[in-house]
Amino acid sequence: MTAKKAGKDYFVALSECHLMNPDTLAEIAYFPNVQRWWGSVNGVMKAWAGRNLTDPDASWPHPIAKELIAYMDKSGVDVTFALREPMMDVTGNSTCLSTNGFILKEIEPYPDRIYLECNVGPILRRGMEHALWELEYLVKERNAKLCKMYAPEDLGALDDRALWPFYEKACELDIALTVHTGQSYVVPQPSAHSMPMTLDRVLLDFPELKIIAYHMGWPNTEELIGLAGKHMNLYLSLSGIIGWYERSPYRGYHAIGTALQWVDSHRIVMGLDLPFDDMPRVVDWVRNLQMPEELQEKWGYAEITDEVRAGLLGLNLAKLAKIDTKKRCK
């Protein structure tokens, strides 16, 4: 049964839906850093989802398109953007958890429901010429709608000037970049490469580049919000951290309330970055989001209107990805 806010049938779109190759996961399980990586994943899942994915009794959906589409239908989600999970450093850069080719094969049966959010990194580590070629190919030939940048596994921070050709290419292709911001949640990756302030110089030099900042820049959320007030081409994403906001709603009220004091509501978007069975609870939380009157009175936060909810749930992201907002899920 699809859960929906009474009387409302919002268009819902979620970016950052990770698909992983089950065969590859089994093949690389013996690498020490793979085990360390899963331990880190459990660290963030404890906060975001309240569970341990490696517990022997744990049950969670396989990260493949068939499972994703089932939870989209259950949650009333119209479209998602699926992407690979690279994490090449956990195997000493010998392989990745999934490829863009794997994603394309997975989503092929679901046109108009699941779109490609490509990831051509680690950009500097693999070589700029290769990253630029693949990005252009995936946008022009394979209909990629967004492109993810994940600096923690690369050789430099987001404001490393060696990345300027990549930003120039994204501007040329007119594709929005979805960017991990805030701490790196997993080992063996440094957090310094993705701190929100590393975006300042990028945004100054590329005012036409659209950047969607994932995870609200936690734990530097207010720093990211301040940057979004400064830069009109910076968008705030609730991806991943929305799971924590639903579990501790006043944390979410303060983050979203503060963001709306600094930016127009059209610059805040949804995302997932959670196990697919968390989709119903986080989408319904936003679908029914209300700002408590006490916080409106004492903190000056704005009321969450139907227009704001509609934008958060999907209209804002659809505009950035240049897709239509017709309802797919009934």
- CATH code, domain carrying 203: 3.20.20.140
How many other C-beta atoms are found inside a 10 Å radius of the C-beta of residue 49?
22
Q: For the CA atoms of the chain, what is the radius of gyration?
A: 19
Q: Which tens digit of pLDDT belongs to each residue from 159-174?
A: 999 999 999 999 999 9
**Low-confidence residues in the chain, pLDDT < 70:** 1-7
The predicted structure's pLDDT at residue 2: 42
Cβ atoms of 223 and 216 within 8 Å: the answer is: no
Residue 326 covered by a domain:
no
Residue 8 covered by a domain:
no
Cβ atoms of 87 and 293 within 8 Å: the answer is: no
Residue 251 covered by a domain:
yes
Q: Which tens digit of pLDDT belongs to each residue from 194-205?
A: 999 999 999 999
Residue entry with tokens 């600096």? 151
What is the C-alpha separation between 256 and 176, in angstroms, rounded?
22
The predicted structure's pLDDT at residue 53: 86
What's the token pair of residue 106? 């997975």
51 Cβ contact partners less than 8 Å away, ≥ 6 residues apart: 45, 58, 60
Residue 2 covered by a domain:
no
What is the C-alpha separation between 241 and 56, in angstroms, rounded?
25
55 Cβ contact partners less than 8 Å away, ≥ 6 residues apart: none
Residue among 164, 108, 172 at smallest CA distance from 140: 172
The predicted structure's pLDDT at residue 7: 55
Q: How many helices (H) and strands (E) does the chain have?
A: 15, 8
Residue among 146, 62, 137 at smallest CA distance from 318: 146
Residue 268 covered by a domain:
yes
In the chain, the number of structural domains is 1
The predicted structure's pLDDT at residue 107: 98
Please name the residue ranges forming H helices in the chain: 22-27, 32-48, 65-75, 100-107, 123-126, 128-142, 164-173, 199-205, 221-230, 242-247, 249-262, 279-287, 293-299, 306-310, 316-321
Host domain of residue 94:
13-321
Residue 161 covered by a domain:
yes
DSSP-assigned states of every residue in 253-294: HHHHHHHHHHS-GGGEE-B--S-GGGHHHHHHHHHT----HH
Omega before 122 cis (within 30°)?
yes
What's the token pair of residue 267? 């610059």
Residue 186 covered by a domain:
yes
Residue 278 covered by a domain:
yes
Cβ atoms of 165 and 127 within 8 Å: the answer is: no
The predicted structure's pLDDT at residue 158: 98
Q: Is 214 left (phi over 0), alpha (psi -120 to 50) or beta?
A: beta
